[in-house]
Amino acid sequence: MVANFRKNLVISAILAVSTAFSASLSAAPTLKVGIYLPMSGRTASFGADVYSGMKMAIDEINKAGKVKINAILEDEKSEPTDSANAVKKLINIDKVNIVLGSVASSNTNAAAPIAQAAKIPLMTPASTNPNVTKNGEYISRICFIDDFQGSALAKFAKNDLKATKAAIVLDSASDYSQGLSAAFRKEFKALGGEIVTEVSYQAGDQDFSSQLTKIRTKKPEVIFVPGYYSEVGNMMRQATKLKVKGPFIGGDGWSADELAQLAGDGIEGHFYSAHFSHEDTDPAVQGFVKKYKSLMKKNPSDMAALGYDAIYFAADVFKRNGFKTDAEGLKNAINTTKNYPGITGNITLDSDRNATKPLVIIATHKGGHKFKQRVQP
Amino acid sequence: MSEFVQYLVNGFAQGSIYALIALGYTMVYGILKLINFAHGEIYMIGGYCGIFLLSTLGLPFWAALMLAMPIVGIFAVLIERFAYRPLRGAPRIAPLITAIGVSIVLLELTRLVAGAQPRPFPQPFEDMSYELGNWIPALDGVIIQRNQIMVFIIAIVLMVLLNAIVMKTKIGRAMRALSMDFDASRLMGVPIDRVIAFTFFIGASLAGAGGMLVGMYYNQVEPYMGQLAGLKAFTAAVLGGIGVIPGAVIGAFILSISEALVVGYSESSYRDAIAFAILIVVLMFRPWGILGRPERVKV
């Protein structure tokens, strides 16, 4: 009993000291960051990956102690309505200084008007649909947009894969899928290619055999699938069974470990564009890859790298605003960003608050994906 | 021609799954006049149960299927016992709302326990497909996968078994009696609690088998898989005439084949719109569904 009491005393003493210690730490200027990501639902892999990078950056920054990042995470459940609610909560109840997120463009698009109306800066690490930042001057992103991604993929299909006939399979309810296929269609036609058929599916569909049968009859040389990994992986598997000849090409929505798991043998020989490759030999990238690998026991995806960049970018914006948390100052600091050196490339925001950055094309393989080429904007 | 046949093949495989789920909706509705919205989640749990039995316990496929069906069935009986039975005398809307609640609870519980990620389903059989063009030249290019044949045959066998139970056994007769006249059956000494529990058991077993077959066919299981499939199966049950067992099967095949053909010959984005338009048109002319009988108003 006495021993127990003593133990308790010691513990409470330690607690008291450590609270005092952390209190002295929090004397560093604090930025309250609201994060909303798909931690569950159909695109939960994106949430997990982006947050793994964010968490790593937050821990590094807080350990360094010059500024403190006070992060609040909300799950947007891979749904637009939940995204809007999450951002409402972050702004109205948690009173965050800046909002970071989300990944799927439809979800960021649903949340952005709320941040814009409340005049709180919202910066998305990974939503690529051009319309997202058109919600207003408080909305920005640190990734490229689908106009660039779609046209880069069209050029890749035409010039590198030597394809002249393409089929498009799109998710009819997704802003991302629509925007990306519009950009692809425009560029591919401009290059003299032909779109032989366009078919669509809905998020949550499991069966793509009828769409694939239709594609098979049109004999395209490349199949463009601007969707998310959960459906695309399944589609690849079924394509192998139905003997549909690829290759498939797609955008950053493929970027998840689950793609290969779901596709099985069907994963071999396709291409997608991403924000970053862990095979990049740049020393800064390799430093990040090493740290990430020792922490997470796997290679970072581009989503993880974007999450990492987003937090450091927010800290940099905070610093450039003189460690003040006023929304207007933060917004101006974001919108005037020039050559911020991120892991995913140099970030310069244009007048539409979009970043102009290179992309990488990645070839999918059963034993692990391989870097194929880099495309400059 | 071969294209058309391929769409039919795709439609039949999908339709077998819809049918297995639709049967559960229709049986429960036939007896309790309750639309069991949790039924789609029961189907999803069947898929997870399959993963557990196949990969964790390492059972062979047939043993896993035989075990998964009663496990899911007992699960549904428990749901009936604790969520629906206490509300049996209540207005019809109360159990309906409860069913929606049960559906959400099951979905979110599965999400918490198993995670939101789609889980790869172990492949009990090697992928194999047959090219019909090798035997019938006119059908060049039509591919039937072995899994499609398996799904179709297992579904048909289960439906024949169900038919035998309902038409030939004593408990089947009791089920039919209950669906004709609930109160009269009770007065005649039909043990209604037991019959209702059995109905849930059978319906859920079929849905559980459906979940396992879908896992095998698409190689994945995820917490949200029951939502869309449940909705489609419910539509199939209404289309065929809710409460009528063969109706559910016919409705399921009509729905799945029209879906496949719409994707093939029209805009694929109209798939669901056209499928539901068919439902509306059928219900305009036959509000009781294709095989349903007009409800007599009892005085």
- CB contacts of B267 in chain A (<8 Å) are 200
Tokens of A22: 């952390």
pLDDT of residue B140: 79
Q: Using one digit for the tens of pLDDT, what is the confidence trace for A13-66?
A: 555 555 445 544 557 899 999 999 999 878 888 999 999 999 999 999 999 999
Q: Chain B residues within 8 A (CB-CB) of chain A?
A: 3, 6-7, 10-11, 13-14, 111, 115-118, 120, 127, 129, 141, 143, 145, 214, 218-220, 222, 224-225, 227-229, 259-260, 263-264, 267-269, 271-272
What are the residue ranges spanned by the domains of chain A? Answer: 28-144+282-357, 147-274
Q: In what order do the strands lie in the sheet with A122-124?
A: A68-75, A30-37, A98-100, A122-124, A139-141
CB A291 within 8 A of CB A284: no
Query: CB-based contacts of A342: which residues, under 8 Å, 6+ apart?
Result: A142, A309, A312, A313
Q: What is the pLDDT of residues B102-152, one digit of tens each?
A: 999 999 899 888 877 778 888 888 778 888 878 888 777 788 888 888 888
Instruction: Determine whether the interchain pair A205/B228 forms a contact, defined as Cβ–Cβ distance below 8 Å.
Output: yes
Domain boundaries in chain B? 2-285
Alpha-carbon dihedral sign for residues B205, B27, B251, B45 = negative
Is the pLDDT confidence value at A361 over 80?
A: yes
Chain A residues whose beta carbon lies within 8 Å of the beta carbon of residue B129: 241, 243
Identity of the residue in B225, B229, B263 whose CB atom sits nearest the CB atom of A210: B263
Residue of A206, A210, A230 lying closest to B10 (CB–CB): A210
Instruction: Kindly report the length of chain A.
Output: 377
Give percent of chain B with pLDDT exceeding 70: 98
Q: What CATH superfamily classification does A28-144+282-357 receive?
A: Response regulator (3.40.50.2300)
| CA-wise closest residue to A186 among A108, A130, A126 | A130
- CATH architecture of the domain formed by B2-285: Orthogonal Bundle (1.10)
Q: Is the pLDDT of residue A1 over 50?
A: no
Asked whether this chain's domains A28-144+282-357 and A147-274 adopt the same fold, the reply is yes
DSSP B30-58: HHH----TTHHHHHHHHHHHHHIIIIIS-
d(Cα A169, Cα A223) in Å, to the nearest integer? 7
Residue-by-residue pLDDT tens, chain B, 299 positions: 778 888 999 899 889 989 999 988 888 888 888 888 999 999 999 999 999 999 889 899 999 999 999 999 999 999 999 999 999 888 888 999 999 999 999 998 998 888 777 788 888 887 788 888 788 887 777 888 888 888 889 989 998 999 899 899 999 999 999 888 888 998 999 998 999 999 999 999 999 999 999 998 888 888 888 988 888 899 899 899 888 888 999 999 999 999 999 888 888 788 888 878 888 888 888 888 888 877 665 55
DSSP A213-245: HHHHHH--SEEE--S-HHHHHHHHHHHHHTT--
Q: What ipTM is given for this predicted complex?
A: 0.79
- One of 3.40.50.280, 3.40.50.1950, 3.40.50.2300, 3.40.630.30 is the CATH number of A147-274, namely 3.40.50.2300
pLDDT the model gives residue B253:
93
Give CA–CA dist B35/A225, Å, rounded.
37
Name the helix (H) or strand (E) containing A249.
strand A248-250
| Closest residue to A45, CB basis, from B117, B143, B227 | B117
Helix (H, G, I), strand (E, B) or coil at A29: coil
Residue-wise pLDDT for A100-113, tens only, equals 999 999 999 999 99
If you search the block for the tokens 């430093």, which residue do you land on?
A: A287
Structure tokens at B201: 């058991």
Chain B contact for A216 (CB, 8 A cutoff): yes
Shortest CA gap B181–chain A (Å)? 39
Are A216 and B260 a contacting pair at CB < 8 A? no
Residues A202-251: tens digit of each pLDDT: 888 888 988 999 999 889 999 999 999 989 998 999 998 888 988 999 99
Residues A351-374, mean pLDDT to the nearest whole number: 90
Sign of CA dihedral A53, A54, A56, A57: positive
Place of tokens 């020989």: A269
Query: In b/e form, how buried is each residue of A5-31, taking b as 16+ CB within 10 angstroms?
Result: eeeeeeeeeeeeeeeeeeeeeeebebb
User: Which of A237, A233, A273, A44 minimizes the C-alpha distance to A151?
Assistant: A273
Interface contact A258, partner B, CB < 8 A: yes
- Beta-sheet pairing, A271-274 with A359-363: antiparallel
Q: Which residue in chain B is spatially nearest to A242 when comparing CA positions?
A: B143
